[in-house]
Amino acid sequence: MSEQKKWAEKLSSQCGVSPAFLTSALEELSESCYGDAKTSKSVIEELTLSCHMNEADLRKFISDVSKSCPMDVKKLKNEIIEAKGKKEDAFQAIIKSRLGPTSSVR
């Protein structure tokens, strides 16, 4: 079993989101604005475990990230941690982490 699948299986058992979706979300988030799988894993873990995001929430979050590139990935991760489990604040982290002129996510 690949490292990604092991990671997805373990996280799935903790958050209830399917391993297949978690693997897909990791790939999509890693490829959306940056190629950093380690940071993407941390972001997904924080969103599912602390912010209690489900599959639909994650799908919207990743879509919003993709629409907001370029982005400071480290800042995104830190802003999500600072959200302290608040889903709405995690979504606001996307806007706070954009590089360039700030605008709302569509």
Q: Is the peptide bond between 101 and the residue preceding it cis, with omega within 30 degrees of 0?
A: no
Rounded-to-integer distance, Cα 51 and Cα 46, Å: 7
Q: Tell me the pTM.
A: 0.87
From first to last of its 106 residues, the chain has per-residue pLDDT tens of: 799 999 999 999 999 999 999 999 999 988 887 658 899 999 999 999 999 999 999 999 999 998 988 888 889 999 999 999 999 999 999 999 998 765 444 4
Q: Is 35 exposed, middle or buried (0-12, 13-18, 19+ CB in 10 A)?
A: exposed
Domain boundaries, the chain: 3-96
Rounded-to-integer distance, Cα 69 and Cα 33, Å: 6
| Three-state secondary-structure class, residue 74 | helix
Q: 50: which 2 tokens?
A: 């602390």
